[in-house]
A = this chain, B = another copy of it.
Amino acid sequence: MPSLDEKFRALAADYAPGQEVRQETGDLNSLMRGGKLEGIPVDFSHGDVDAFPPTPGSEVAWKDGFAIGGQQAYTEYRGAFQIREGLAERLGKFTGKPISGGKELIITPGTQGALFLALGATVTAGMKVAVVEPDYFANRKLVKFFGGELVPVPMHYLRASSENGPDLNRLEAAFKSGTKVLVFSSPNNPTGLVYSANSIEAIAELAARHNATVIVDQLYSRMLYSGEVYTHLRACDKQPENLICIMGPSKTESLSGYRLGVAFGTSMLIDRMERLQAIVSLRAAGYNQKVLDTWFLEPQGWLEKRIGEHEAIRDELLGIFRAASFPTFTPQAGSYLFPQLPPLDFDYQAFVRMLRHQAGVTVTPGTEFAPGYGDSIRLNFSQDRRAALAAAGRIVKMVNLYRNGARK
């Protein structure tokens, strides 16, 4: 049993997106090479909801919720019934298989809330849990918090496209050696890789065969770029007995300020998640829930336009990083880029802090996503286009200042 000190050391969040303001700048000035790089500061740690504002109508929906009063303030812990019914209908269509709004869906405080509840409902002390590397940093932290044992499954993304994706042999070996839960994101955070139909079908089949629970974080599955295809695990022929899918309107739709997410899947697990929600924070904020009535009902063409704008930024940033020879996967969906930096003669973690200090550019270090990714940085490119391109240019300049051999 780890002590509370150890447990909370493992939860260190100083490099987590949004927490950078709490870092001490300490000795950075004495280590700085050259002067500050001018330019509009850009915080790539999360999307800029001023550059890409919330979907139209969210504020009006919120006011409608407030006007309803007590009934909307005190919903069931799993969320207001009518809102769940509407969501179940629309998410069922989106994912290719009906959902029961009464039994198979819970509204949560953000997708983070959904992930916490899903892992809390499935992981207990000593349980082996397969976690993809690299993947969303909270997955590893959650498994550790609930006392589970991490079983890493590598995912490739800088190989030839046919070789990219999760290592299915390693996954099968994990299941064979008693792993009971798999959690992963597709589109993958931080790389933007969308798991192929082959991968998803294999995961479904393996989990069904080995009686393992699967938790799929599909947060970015709506922002799918030209020519890409998304495969929904819950619509596969083979089905694990226990499956939870997670989505939310915080990213593509810029509704993060409302803290809304949903989880849908096996009703026994949704029941557990609600029981846990009852002691965690009761429910997603009541009035805010009403905003979900606008989700998947955006004005005609709105989603296509938003995807197109992100695709344009993606392509320009890829151009900049590739011109600088940073190996970078072309995200198939979502708004994350995960470039690999060349060798520096400077600690990567310190470089990330220096980037913020000297160049006004905030990124998330690769170590947040798995050990061994210290040379990579994650950028959420849902940003003002011109500011983002200029900031990417500053990243390249900074790498040149701190790269191996730059200081002779």
Contacts and interface: CB of A to CB of B under 8 A. Distances in A.
A259 B75 CA distance: 12
Given A74-B256, A257-B66, A259-B285, A279 B138 contact: yes
A22 interface: yes
Nearest to A139: B279
Given A70-B49, A281-B259, A125 B76 contact: no
Contacts of A11: 272, 275-276, 278-279
A316 to B, nearest CB: 21
A323 interface: no
Contacts of A258: 285-287
- What's the number of copies of this chain in the assembled complex? 2
B1 A257 contact: no
Nearest to A46: B74
A62 B70 CA distance: 17
A21 B74 CA distance: 12
Given A70-B49, A278-B11, A285 B257 contact: yes
Interface in A71-113: 72-77, 81, 108-110, 112-113
A142 B276 CA distance: 9
Interface string A260-277: 000000000001101110
Interface stretch (A12-20, A167-175, A214-222, A388-396): A12-20
A346 B284 CA distance: 37
A122 interface: yes
A272 to B, nearest CB: 5
A198 to B, nearest CB: 32
Interface in A142-183: 142, 145, 147
Looking at A7, A74, A112, A271, which has the most chain B CB atoms within 10 Å of its CB?
A74
A126 interface: yes
Given A70-B49, A74-B46, A258-B287, A275 B12 contact: yes
A400 interface: no
A63 B58 CA distance: 12
A16 B278 contact: yes
Given A7-B124, A8-B121, A125-B1, A21 B76 contact: yes
B280 A113 contact: yes
Contact of A73 (B16, B147, B257, B281): B257
A49 B73 contact: yes
B286 A257 contact: yes
Given A74-B257, A113-B280, 7 more contacts: A8-B121, A13-B274, A18-B75, A18-B77, A19-B76, A49-B74, A109-B281
**10 closest A-B pairs by CB:** A73-B257, A11-B275, A109-B281, A259-B285, A113-B281, A257-B286, A13-B278, A50-B70, A49-B70, A50-B69
